[in-house]
Chain A
Amino acid sequence: DAGVTQSPTHLIKTRGQHVTLRCSPISGHKSVSWYQQVLGQGPQFIFQYYEKEERGRGNFPDRFSARQFPNYSSELNVNALLLGDSALYLCASSLGQGIDTQYFGPGTRLTVL
């Protein structure tokens, strides 16, 4: 079975640009979460979606937005990129009910110049 997949694997943008990151969850998983991991730090929670509805949001500015599609895949959008947005962006999927192990994808490495 395929695990969580993310695209692209690497991305280079300049300040002020916009970026869209994509995630496909494990088959049967209805919840997708996004995390940002800056070099040398642990991942920080950005969003969680379940059944296409936002179920949680971390402490990130409104430049960050996300959505989940009917097939449970998800997009993370970041507008007006800043140098500090350079990070590994991780997507995690889970069944979305009860005590739930999170399964992480390989991440998208975003570099903002």
Chain B
Amino acid sequence: KQEVTQIPAALSVPEGENLVLNCSFTDSAIYNLQWFRQDPGKGLTSLLLIQSSQREQTSGRLNASLDKSSGRSTLYIAASQPGDSATYLCARGNSGYSTLTFGKGTMLLVSP
């Protein structure tokens, strides 16, 4: 069974801190790894997609890495802001048809 685990479940930091969210997955035959943001009661916003042949992707203050051999991905957020407060979900792509297996998410609170 393919599983995705996210640690920590919740994180609270003061504004301006750099932080790392962790994601681990079983089965190294991963197709891709995607990070999403979800605001309370809302849908998902795609942040970064890392293909299995890549090691990292960057977008603005966000950097995501992928290490297939250890079954891990990290999402690095630089200079956090209150607007970054949300739940962050990682999901592994399971095939060329892009079905996704999600972790439970990390709930991030950035306080002013």
Show the binding face of A for B, using Cβ within 8 Å: 4, 31, 33, 35, 40-45, 48, 50, 55-56, 58, 88, 90, 92, 94, 96, 98-107, 109
Which residues from A are CB-within-8-Å of B25?
A: none
Are A42 and B89 within 8 A (Cβ)? yes
Instruction: Tell me the minimal C-beta distance from A30 to chain B in angstroms.
Output: 12
Q: List 5 A-B contacts (CB under 8 A).
A: A43-B89, A43-B91, A43-B102, A90-B43, A106-B43
Complex-state Cα separation, A96 to B98, whole angstroms: 8
What residues on B are CB-neighbors of A103 within 8 Å? 46
* Shortest Cβ gap from A10 to chain B (Å): 10
**7 more A-B contacts (CB under 8 A) besides A35-B100, A48-B98, A56-B97?**
A4-B43, A35-B102, A42-B103, A48-B97, A99-B93, A104-B44, A107-B43
Cross-chain contact A101 with B42 (CB below 8 angstroms):
no
Closest to B89 in A: A42
Q: Kindly state the separation between the CA atoms of A94 and B97 in the bound complex, as whole angstroms.
A: 9
Instruction: Kindly state the separation between the CA atoms of A29 and B111 in the bound complex, as whole angstroms.
Output: 39
Are B99 and A42 neighbours in the complex by a CB distance under 8 Å? no
Report the Cα distance A33→B100, complex, angstroms: 10
> Provided the pairs A42-B105, A90-B43 are in contact, do residues A99 and B100 lie with their beta carbons within 8 angstroms?
no
Contact of B45 with A55 in the complex, beta carbons under 8 Å: no
- B41 contact set on A, CB distance < 8 A: 88, 109
Name the residue in B42, B97, B102 with the highest tally of chain A Cβ atoms < 10 Å from its Cβ.
Answer: B97
CB distance from B59 to the nearest CB of A (A): 12
Q: How many whole Å from A91's CB to the nearest CB in chain B? A: 9
Q: How far is the CA of A42 from the CA of B102 in the complex (A)?
A: 5
Interface 0/1 of B21-50, CB less than 8 Å to A: 000000000011010100001111110010
